[in-house]
Structures are given as structure tokens and as C-alpha cells.
A and B are shown apart, each in its own frame.
Chain A
Amino acid sequence: MTAELPTHLHYTVEHEWLDDGAPATVGITGIAADALGDIVYLELPAVGEEITAGAVVGEIESTKSVSELYSPVSGTVVEVNQAAVDDPSVVNSDPYGQGWLLKVEVTSTGPLLTSEEYTAQNAG
């Protein structure tokens, strides 16, 4: 049931994805969403907040567990996905599409993986 891993995105070891847009869109991977189970609550930073690559910027809670959201980039949050906050199940059903979490005006990026590297990390 894991969605195909898009090859055009960048990934982090903490299971976030990032695109090349300006602003850049941030989400969590299908692997992360599947591992959490049904996501029931998202806590995301406020629009305008300055975030730092590698720092915790939110929480993703499922019936079974809770996981922290780490920012893959430093910059300013310019938009949060209110539809996903209202109905977090879209993060499970469409993690790379309607289940996106943040749009960020990026000043610098943290360590990123290619889709091949991310797949290799999760193979074992």
C-alpha cells in the first residue's frame, strides 16, 4: 500500500520530502505515513515562523504513536496545509500530493537524500 516513491523529490533520513519549488513544499514520505498508521492529528508551525533545518517543527500523531516533524530546510513558513490539519487522513492517502504539510521560503537546506539513497536507507 506504500505509494511509489517520486524520483523528483529530495528526502531526509527522518522521512520528510522536499521539492524544488520556490517556495519549497515539505511533506512526509509514504513509508513514514504507513509506519505511523492512521494519522489523526497534525501540529504544524505558524505561517511566518522561522524554522531551522534539522529542528523539530511539528508533530504527527496516529492512533498508535506520535512522531516529530523535522524541517529539512531553514527558512520562513509561508503556508501550512490547513486541509491536512482539518483532515490528516490525506497524509496517509496522498502523502506526496494533497497530504503536503508546509511551504517554505528556503534560505538553506540541511542534508538531503536522493530517492535512490532514501530507498536504500529503508531497504534493510
Chain B
Amino acid sequence: MKDETVDVESPLHAEHVALGAALTSFAGWQMPLRYTSDIAEHTAVRTAAGLFDLSHMGEIGVTGPDAGRFLDYALVGNLSTLKLLGARYTMICAEDGGVVDDLIVYRDTEDTFLVVANASNHDTVLAAFAERTAGFDVTVEDLSPQTALIAVQGPRALEILRATEGLAEAGHDAETLKYYAAMPMTFQGEPVLVARTGYTGEDGFEFFLDAPLAPALWQAFLAAGEPSGLVPAGLSARDSLRLEAGMPLYGNELDRTTTPHDAGLGRVVKLDKVDADGNPLPFVGRAALEARGQSEPARVLVGLEGLGRRAARHGYPVKHSTAADAPTVGTVTSGAPSPTLGHPVAMAYVTPEVSAPGTELAVDVRGRFEPVRVVALPFYRRPR
């Protein structure tokens, strides 16, 4: 934990202060926790739209003739096959298969990729990239200091994007932009990379742009979005939204002791990636992940629906039943009262025998065993 007094301020810091946000120290940044009410911000994203400052995320540029090949080696995914302006969810693992970070990679040009890392892992990912570049004609550059990231998330995100003054689609049509794809736009004539990605379970867009331009775009969104019910939303709403959407958070569902398979995300590990001659491509963690993919899992990530009112929280033990002598069968990774569903929800690692949906278990909530039921993830799926 870095000291609060040395936290980095977002390029939108003055906007947050002007809006009266409660600020929190997060991964070395001063970021808005909430502006008014966690639940109101959460609900706005589900029913209208929310505006998020994600400038704490780490943006890393990977450029050069070998950029795609380098990412194929450094990450578990098959990034050289990523289409121009495509986006992909992937992970960087250690040799032992443990997750170093989960990432979104965008391809700007044939030789230019943008890697977005979690704020808490930004330095670790940069260091791992530096270690893995040997033999590749590639340049890794930390773009985070000069890059702002703003997200508009919610069912009304598209109409807000269209109503935003100064934001031009530059010959592209945001409506036809596919989920997990990006396109160039301009704001006040300056380039903005727009991606249809997010971390809320709703439709939405994320906007990468030069930091000095960010306050003007933020204000333009607020002005354009007001009739649509857009509200600024903080990290607290972001966490409850991603939990309802069953999305993992590094430090909770994922960490160095977790493999992608443990988290139910074995699909991001591309063991079938090959070079131009059809030979299997080596990548960091390959041997361990190959073995892991073939073995029976020791634990499974599941959803838990609380049957009482007290919420399970990160780190609480999962018990086989509410009986006082019930054995521990797992650990909660994330949990909160779900604003959308009206009851507590949690994600937890449990032993495979008790992982089937419908299984009734309990969570030790500060000494009292609260009944829960295993349910399929996600807890919430947006209506289409």
C-alpha cells in the first residue's frame, strides 16, 4: 500500500473534486469511490448509463515488426491473429502457470498493440514484458502517464456517445461497432480510440485519449448524457457491477497462485497457437498450463446466492452446511449485497464435489454460518 499523500492524481481529479466525490486510495491512485450513492450509481448503469474515470488503468504500447509474435510468447493468448482494431481478453502468466495479470489487448495497426493492465499490476506487467522481449524486434512503452481512460456504460451509452458535442465518428459508425472491437474517433479534432468493452455487464464504450483532453470530454459526456440519465459512477459501483456480471477481479478471483483454468477461464490459454510452419509456439507458462488443462481441478470458481441478508465477503470460509461442525469446502473471493437482485451474491473457490448449481452450502460470516446456494455465473445478464 502506497501512502495516500503520494497517490497519483487522475487527469480528471479536479472534475471529481468539483462533483464532490468521496475519493479513495486505490493501487497508488486517488480515485472516486462514489459521487453520491453506490446503489444509485449502480442502478443508473443498469437502467441508463454511468460515466467512469478509469485513468488508473495501465496502458502499455507494444510496437515493432515482432509485436504480435512477442505477445504470443509473453501472453497465453494468440494475439498475432487479432484483427486490426480488434480487442481480446487475455492473461499474462508466470512459468508456473500462475496469473500475473488479466489484460485487454487492442490492435491499432499491424505492428502496434495497446495492452491494458490493472493499475495494481501495471509495474509488474511492464517488468515481465521487459524480461520477455529478448530476441524480439519490439518496443515496449509505458503510455499510462499521458493516457486517460473514460468509460460510458449502460443501455443508453450509444445515444450519449452520439449526442456528445465535439465527438466525431470519423467515417465510422459506433452503432455497428461490435463488442470487443475498437475504432478511431476524434474529439475536438484530436484522436480518441473508442472500444466497445467494459466491466459492468452492460453495453458501453471505453475512450482512450491524451490526458490533457480528458476533462473536456468528461464534461461533454456529462452535458450530453444528462437527458439520458447519465451519472458519474465510482469504483464502488464498478465493483458491484462487475460482481453481478460474474467478471473476475485481480486480487480476488485471480492472483499468482491461481491459473486461468481455476477461474473457469482456461479458454484464454491457446495451446494450439503455432508459427508459420505449423510448429507449436512456445509461451511463458506453456508447460505448466498444458499439464493443468489435463488434470482434474482441485477447486472451482462458483457463484453463491445468499439465502439470508448478511453478505459473504472476500476471504470468508465456505462451509459444507450450516451445522456448527461443518467442514470448510472453500473460500469467498468477492461478495456483496446485489443492488440489482436484492440479495447477497458472492464468488468463491470450492472443492469440485460441492460445485454443482443448486448445492446448498454455508458461509462463515463473522462467526455465524449463513446459508447460500451454488448458482451459475453470471448472476446478472443484461436483457437484449
Kindly provide the distance from the CB of B99 to the nearest chain A CB, expressed in whole angstroms. Answer: 25
Within 8 A of A (CB), among B34-76: 34, 36-40, 42
Q: Identify the closest chain A residue to B313 (Cβ).
A: A66
Classify the secondary structure of B's interface with A.
Answer: mixed
Q: Identify the closest chain B residue to A43 (Cβ).
A: B310
B20 within 8 Å of A (CB atoms): yes
B248 within 8 Å of A (CB atoms): no
Contact call B311/A38, Cβ cutoff below 8 A? no
CA distance A17 to B12 in the complex (A): 36
Contact call A61/B38, Cβ cutoff below 8 A? no
Contact partners of B39 in chain A: CB under 8 A: 38, 40, 63
CA distance A64 to B311 in the complex (A): 10
Fill in one digit per residue for B299-322: 1 if any A CB lies within 8 Å of its CB, else 0.
Answer: 000000000011101000000000
CA distance A63 to B38 in the complex (A): 7
A123 within 8 Å of B (CB atoms): no
Interface residues of A toward B: which range? 10 to 19
Contact partners of B37 in chain A: CB under 8 A: 37-38, 92
Contact partners of B313 in chain A: CB under 8 A: 65-66
Kindly provide the distance from the CB of B272 to the nearest chain A CB, expressed in whole angstroms. Answer: 42
Q: Identify the closest chain B residue to A42 (Cβ).
A: B309
CA distance A43 to B37 in the complex (A): 21
Contact partners of A61 in chain B: CB under 8 A: 310-311, 337
B336 within 8 Å of A (CB atoms): yes
Contact call B38/A64, Cβ cutoff below 8 A? yes
Contact call A41/B22, Cβ cutoff below 8 A? no
Contact call A40/B310, Cβ cutoff below 8 A? no
Kindly provide the distance from the CB of B10 to the nearest chain A CB, expressed in whole angstroms. Answer: 20
Given A63-B240, A64-B38, A41 and B337 contact (CB-CB distance below 8 Å): yes
Kindly provide the distance from the CB of A117 to the nearest chain B CB, expressed in whole angstroms. Answer: 24
B120 within 8 Å of A (CB atoms): no
Contact partners of B34 in chain A: CB under 8 A: 37
Fill in one digit per residue for A42-66: 1 if any B CB lies within 8 Å of its CB, else 0.
Answer: 0100000000000000010111111
A34 within 8 Å of B (CB atoms): yes
A1 within 8 Å of B (CB atoms): yes
CA distance A80 to B42 in the complex (A): 30
Given A61-B337, A63-B240, A34 and B310 contact (CB-CB distance below 8 Å): no
B339 within 8 Å of A (CB atoms): yes
Given A37-B236, A41-B309, A43-B310, A63 and B36 contact (CB-CB distance below 8 Å): no
Q: Identify the closest chain B residue to A64 (Cβ).
A: B236
Given A34-B22, A37-B236, A64-B236, A59 and B36 contact (CB-CB distance below 8 Å): no
Kindly provide the distance from the CB of B19 to the nearest chain A CB, expressed in whole angstroms. Answer: 11
Kindly provide the distance from the CB of A95 to the nearest chain B CB, expressed in whole angstroms. Answer: 14
Within 8 A of A (CB), among B1-53: 20, 22, 33-34, 36-40, 42
CA distance A92 to B34 in the complex (A): 14
CA distance A32 to B366 in the complex (A): 20
Kindly provide the distance from the CB of B347 to the nearest chain A CB, expressed in whole angstroms. Answer: 16
Given A37-B34, A38-B39, A43-B310, A63 and B22 contact (CB-CB distance below 8 Å): no
Kindly provide the distance from the CB of B155 to the nearest chain A CB, expressed in whole angstroms. Answer: 21
CA distance A62 to B339 in the complex (A): 10
Q: Which of A1, A37, A66 contacts B311 (CB 8 A)?
A: A66
Within 8 A of B (CB), among A1-55: 1, 34, 37-38, 40-41, 43
Q: With A1-B20, A66-B366, A92-B37 given, name 11 new contacts (CB 8 A).
A: A37-B33, A37-B34, A38-B40, A40-B39, A41-B310, A41-B311, A59-B310, A61-B311, A62-B38, A63-B42, A65-B313
The contact sample of 24 A-B pairs, CB cut-off 8 A, is A1-B36, A37-B33, A37-B34, A37-B38, A38-B37, A38-B38, A38-B40, A40-B337, A41-B337, A43-B310, A61-B310, A61-B311, A61-B337, A62-B38, A63-B42, A63-B236, A63-B240, A63-B337, A63-B339, A64-B33, A64-B38, A64-B236, A64-B239, A64-B336
8 shortest A-B CB distances, which residue pairs?
A: A38-B39, A37-B38, A63-B38, A40-B337, A38-B38, A64-B236, A41-B309, A38-B37
